[in-house]
Amino acid sequence: MDQNAGIRLSSGVPGLDEILTGGLIPGRAYLVRGGPGTGKTIIGLHFLVAGAANNERTLLITMAEPEVQLRRSAEAIGFDLKNIPVLDLSPTSDYFAKMKTYDIFAPSEVEHDPITRAIVERIETIQPQRVFIDTLTQFRYLSTDAFQFRRQVLSFLRYLIEKNATVVFSSESSERDPDADLQFMSDGIIHLSNPEEWRYLCISKFRGSDYRPGLHAMRISKAGMRVFPKLSGENYRQKFEFDVMSSGVTGLDDLLHGGIERATINFLTGPSGTGKTSIGLQFIKEAAARGGRSVLYSFEEEIEIMLRRADSIGISARALKERGTLQLVKIEPMQYFPDEFARIVRREVEEQLTRIVMIDSVAGYRHAMRLGEEEAINHLFALCKYLQNMGVTVIVINETEGGWSENRSTATKMGYLADNIIFLRYLERRTEGSVELRKAVGVLKKRLSDFDKSLREVEITREGLHVGKPLRGISEILGSSSEWEPPRRPFLRSILAPTGE
């Protein structure tokens, strides 16, 4: 029986152990590969520092970067290597300055034995439990051919593992020197990449364990590396009741047959200025009155503007903020990766027990995360599913540009994501000699209960939201145009087409 069964070693990289379903399996050899500057050495340093912090014996074998430089680079990202011995096998400056080159024999014949002796000597002395080799590619130049290289590396890794070490080694792969052989020899592979301004990590092999697939965003800063595991909503579950949450506005609750249910995903969709955010704030206000905590993530408006808007419609968001039942967060463009943002939301939910999350808006989210439309929907889907599984009610603001056709398009694209869709639109109210611009609200979808199929006028004033009785006489709600001609009543016409007719 494997004596290491069930035991995991922390990689030392925040977020990576979660992807590795607990960490590295001891007594195995793991390859970290990627282009220049992707963070291979940093992962190795995290691995050793984590071991040292746990009073494990460690060893860093450097084949290319001198020890002095390595320690300096480590210090720059907050790593203290003072308890980590380094075996420096990198070429000294003598090699160049004193012309220590030779050509009578191949380097593979001359250097191999001394390097091997140096490694064996150090291993026998220290008996390390964690070894990081940076980079194993250098061994290729000590081998006479590919066959010898493979045998030497396999033998070397076996030697280390038989000495009870867990090994992480890096490789420098290029077109001229691909590292497919090292990939085959390793027990696990961590790929690092940095296309354009993003950084990613993915696992393609992990013998003896499951792992979270896909590309995971990562950041390298003065605190080292941090990985943001791709959020999979189905990995999270909490038990809860599907309580109905009233909006506190009678007409709106009538439309929704009581309100929205807990842990549902609610889309508020409509053109700019129709009151989507105000309705969202209304639900938050009511939840706060019942003691529930909410967080509003604004991707467009500044916090002060949001607070003033809330003040103007009779919602004392400032008071809620001070009481801790409302948190307003402005997210700047390109501030976070999507999974990094998801981690922030997760902390709110898991540590602060937040019960409502509002995202204002879909377009703002997409712009801030620099995502294409489909990517944005996929990320939002994962985030909303996580929130739903954790019993959190989600309010998503979706701005449409035109009339009803836009709302229908939203319903089509996001329909599978939303449990409830509340739509808002403009109306033209014609009276004798004048035309007024009015707003209306309706429900397009409600997954867990029936709903009122009518359209109602909505007014947003200093006293708050007011939703009136069903509008009668409107000939179409779902068509591209709608006219209302109530008997002996002012004539209302809806603005559905972009021209407003």
Q: What angle do CA 269, 272, 273 make, to 5 degrees?
A: 105
* Shortest separation between residue 107's beta carbon and another protein, angstroms: 8
Strand partners, 9: 24
Q: Output 18 or 111, the one with its CB closest to another protein.
A: 111
- Three-state SS string across 173-197, please? CCCCCCCHHHHHHCCEEEEEECCCC
Q: Report DSSP state, residue 138.
A: G
Neighbours of 174 (CB within 10 A): 11
* Shortest separation between residue 103's beta carbon and another protein, angstroms: 5
* Shortest separation between residue 101's beta carbon and another protein, angstroms: 6
* Shortest separation between residue 144's beta carbon and another protein, angstroms: 9
Radius of gyration from C-alpha coordinates of the chain? 31
Q: Output 125 or 144, the one with its CB closest to another protein.
A: 144
Neighbours of 353 (CB within 10 A): 12
* Shortest separation between residue 141's beta carbon and another protein, angstroms: 13
Length of the chain: 501
Strand partners, 265: 394
Six token digits for residue 479: 């068509």
Q: Output 109 or 375, the one with its CB closest to another protein.
A: 109
Answer yes or no: are the C-beta atoms of 255 and 451 closer than 8 Å.
yes
Answer yes or no: are the C-beta atoms of 167 and 161 closer than 8 Å.
yes
Q: Output 114 or 213, the one with its CB closest to another protein.
A: 114
Amino acid of residue 205: K
Distance CA 229, CA 214 (A): 9
Q: Output 102 or 416, the one with its CB closest to another protein.
A: 102
Binding site for another protein (CB under 8 A): 99-106, 109-110
* Shortest separation between residue 3's beta carbon and another protein, angstroms: 41
* Shortest separation between residue 151's beta carbon and another protein, angstroms: 17
* Shortest separation between residue 142's beta carbon and another protein, angstroms: 13
Q: Output 105 or 416, the one with its CB closest to another protein.
A: 105
Q: Output 110 or 319, the one with its CB closest to another protein.
A: 110
Q: Output 76 or 104, the one with its CB closest to another protein.
A: 104
Q: Which residue carries 């889309």 as its tokens? A: 267
Strand partners, 111: none
Contacts of 306 (CB under 8 A, 6+ apart): 277, 296, 298, 317, 328
